[in-house]
Amino acid sequence: MENIGEIDEGFYSRQLYVLGHEAMQRMGTASVLIAGMRGLGVEIAKNVILSGVKSVTVQDEGRTEWTDLSSQFFLRESHLGQNRATCSLQQLSALNPHVRVSAHTGPLDEDLLLQFEVVVLTDSSLGDQKRFGELCHSHGIKFIVADTKGLCGQLFCDFGEAFEVLDQNGEMPASAMIQNISKGNPGVVVCTDDQKHGFSDGTKVSFSEIQGMTELNSIDPVEITVRGLHSFSIGDTSAFSKYERGGVVTEVKQPCMLNFALLNHELLKMNDFGKIIRHKTLHLAFQALHSFVKKEQRLPGVRSQVSEEALLATVRELNAVAQLEQLDEDAVRNLSFTAQGDLAPMNAFIGGLAAQEVIKACSRKFMPLQQWLYFDALECLPQDDQLGESSFSAVCTRYDGQIAVFGSAFQEKLERQKYFLVGAGAIGCELLKNFALIGLGAGEGGQITVTDMDFIERSNLNRQFLFRSQDIGKPKSEIAAKAVREMNPQVNITAHQNRLDADSEGVYGYDFFTGLDGVAAALDNVEARVYLDGRCIQHQKPMLEGGTLGSKCHTLVVVPHLTESYGPAKSSSNNAIPLCTLKNFPHRIEHTLQWARDQFEGLFKQTPENVNLFLRDAGFVEFLGGVWGSLEAMRTGGQRPANWEDCVSWARCKWETLYNNEIRQLLHCFPADQVTSTGLPFWSGSKRCPHPLTFDPNNTTHMEYVVAAANLYGQIYGIKGTTDVASIRKILEKVHIPSFTPKSSVKIHVTDEEMQEDKKRGSDDAARLEELKGKLASPSLKSSAMQMYPMDFEKDDDTNFHMDYIVAASNLRAENYDIPAADRHQSKRIAGRIIPAIATTTAAVAGLMCLELYKVVLGHKNISSYRTAYINLAVQYFVLSQPSRPHCDFLCGSEVPGMPSSLCTKTVVFSQLLSVNLVSKSVCTFLYHFSFLSSQICWPKHYVARAAWNIGYTQ
């Protein structure tokens, strides 16, 4: 972003839906310094560079050591002894062509820091933190401290004495349609009951489009008091005009000012099951750790009781002043034992959080951390640790930083693991990075199998950091696997391009799953997660699952016999837009965009597919009207164009039908002054009264529709079009627009129920059906017809006219109904069903998933060791809790969701027979393979496997 205001939307596509254009423009002016290029520093730098600031300078005086390779993914063994910042520079620079990246190998000083808007310290001393923190605070430079030691991490922010947050949560402003407004003090606003208004007490709102009480349309934002899910009060309206109908109320976001102090003791509690006040202990423990390092010039010895006692003594001294209600001495001991550790998953999580704070500092969007945050995953440590000190000693390998925490025996176990990763997108790339660094599947007998059927697109590069511009068009899984081998040549990884579903069970069948140690899900849809979850249940394999939505993320670990599974898909039918709303009564831009998407699918995909099916299959008679019209030439009454001029004519006539004729017909059936049987206005509440449009060739949106529609229509017939508006205008001058008169015989359904009732009663189109059959039976028609070229909607290609059509069609429809139009960016997100995404959240969720991986590989049996996480980086919301136990227990006779009750009962009986050895394990194996039980009752493999799993049979 060399020029302020210019944003590469193709590159930043998914992130723009998280931050927005204005925040991205502010970021494009910021220069950031990141000090320390060990694992945590490079993680922060990677995320910040991908986010799109103006420039990033990485600073480090140190030289690469073996322990750095445990988590610094841009360092190689060939870099040992060389400067870390210099060795990382090329890889960091390649992440984002819009960000200037440079390296500084000298010490930190005042002159250097004053060049930046944001300064981040990692792996720093307490003295440097205080000295540089004071300097930054006095000069208005945003200052961030981040650190990890073994399984513990800390984060600190100081954004100055007057930091303005423009958008505290990043959510779209809530809005609702108005049903009624009373005159009174206070006046009460009642919203339509099709959705909750979503406001909270104290929210400020503005009004628009109100008829009657028009004074509200022009007043400043007013503060509300919520009275119910669909109502709120707004103050005195007694002097206003009487409310008639219509209107929209919209939240108006208010900025807030924050005052940060210098290294104060305000701690943010991360809500973690079983760690209610541990963050206070860690605050003291990290201070004690700094004192230890200053005195001894080293970190505490690995598993050293002498170091542990010294650190604990210092913490007790600090607590004599702090007077904590409860000091967690076990946490202090474990921090001492593991402080020399350097773990990739910890750096991924803290690095994701720290980079998000940098983004907040640069963009002034989202609520920043105020001011300290501590996180630990000490529950990862072995539960029955009997290993001696020597097992944790450094041996000059790339895993020394991890061996210092878990020991060499665990490292060997990690290297023997066989894991299946489904998905090589954003989370998949981050997981593979962590897998390579921790050595998963990197030893004899170890293996990682990754599958992803997608190919790399430009919009992926902003968060799927293993890919570069030269990789566009190549398979994700292959390029990701190649990148992983470069990070760690020891990793054994195989890349597939298969979709994981029933069709691929020949590849991922019984033998494949039984050979695995575990599965990781990096998927982007619920259906695929549910399917993979079912396969893991069937084959009794643990599963790591995570997902993101903008700044929000979640993780779930599924452990056989111990935790609940992902579970069946939840019905989303409640969120479906009623057909009648789409067809006749839209009132939100989401409705017009869905209508435009349906138009695209029907005109340019389904109809051509139906024609091609008819040409291949003589017995095909569905959609006969559309098929005949698309086969018959325009000159004889059909819709098949002979040339480009015909395509333009079709587009112009289609415009007239959709935006004039159909609206006139609707108003003929339901005039603007129509009242219901109860005497209320028909066009009120969520029903917006439309108005027809008149085509104007000088109107930009009108012409954009014609240009896009004509080109798309030409493409499905193999006719080349043009974007020359002047030439298209000349063609339009000759187009004949048929006259239209609304008909009283036309019935328009007001509800979906009416529509369904009419369908049940059947139609009287039998004669028309026979007529079309006769026309289509003509041998000459079929022999002279040519194949058509259906289109699959592709939102990210700006040259294919797909989004051009959607945006124009939707906004014209919105104009019909006086709905505020949406720009291309917003339209692409809604119509393309794009999931907002940002690298920081992706890194954090992958780090949490790999912390659970440690526990799974260690074989933790206590459910309290595991964590389910729900996090929102935008508002510092962190909830980590113990997973739930499995919903069904076969031995107790409870039913399995989705399983017939009779089968559930028989599964319980079968489980009990197995548990008392009345049915041998060889019989169980026979039943599993042949899915058959005596008494001629068929038993699906899935249920037999779960019954066996329930009693601990793992054959």
**Two tokens, residue 829:** 């997100």
166 close to 365: Cβ distance less than 8 angstroms: yes
Q: Rounded to an integer, what distance in angstroms lies between the CA atom of residue 788 and that of residue 240? A: 60
Q: Which two tokens stand for residue 431?
A: 């997981």
Strand pairing category for 932-933 and 493-496? unpaired
Torsion from C-alpha of 603, 606, 608, 612, nearest 10 degrees: -170
In angstroms, the CA 798 to CA 793 distance is 12
Q: Quick one: DSSP state of residue 196?
A: -
Residue 664 · residue 742 · CB < 8 Å:
yes
DSSP 4-67: TT---HHHHHHHHHHH-HHHHHHHTT-EEEEE--SHHHHHHHHHHHHHT-SEEEEE---B--GG
At 748, the amino acid letter reads: I
DSSP track, 522-562 = --SSHHHHHHHHHHHHHHT--EEEEEEETTEEEEEEE-TTT
Measured CA to CA in angstroms, residue 566 lies from 110, 419, 451, 531, 687 at distances of 52, 18, 20, 10, 39
Mapping DSSP to helix (H, G, I), strand (E, B) and coil, where does residue 581 land?
helix
The tokens 């190549």 sit on which residue?
A: 474
Number of Cβ within 10 Å of residue 105's Cβ equals: 15
Sign of CA dihedral 10, 12, 14, 19: negative
- What's the rounded Cα separation, in Å, for the pair 840 and 4? 23
Degrees (nearest 5) of the Cα angle 442, 445, 447? 55
What token pair was written down for 15? Answer: 């992130």
CA distance 15 to 565: 31
Which residues, at least 6 apart from 13, have a Cβ–Cβ distance to it below 8 Å?
A: 459, 462, 796, 828, 834
Closest CA relative to residue 332, chosen from 369, 373, 364, 378: 378
Residues 274-304: b if buried by 16+ CB within 10 A, e if exposed: ebeebbbbbbbbbebbbbbeeeeeebbbbbb
Place of tokens 């396969």: 535
CA distance 868 to 640: 57
Q: Checking DSSP bridges between strand 372-376 and strand 248-251, what pairing results, if any?
A: unpaired
580, 689, 888, 892: which one is catalytic?
Answer: 580
**Exposed e or buried b per residue across 512-543, where buried means at least 16 C-beta atoms within 10 angstroms of its C-beta:** bbeebbbbbbbbbeeebbbbbbbbbbbbbbbb
The SS3 assignment for 582 reads helix
Backbone phi, psi, residue 194, to 5°: -80, -15
Which of 64, 853, 67, 95 has the alpha carbon at shortest distance from 432? 853
938 tagged catalytic? no
Closest alpha carbon to 66 in 101, 38, 89, 45: 38
Residues in Cβ contact with 157 at an 8 Å cutoff, skipping those fewer than 6 apart: 142, 143, 144, 260, 357, 361, 368, 369, 370, 371
Within 10 angstroms of residue 123's Cβ, the number of other Cβ atoms is 19
Catalytic residues: 580
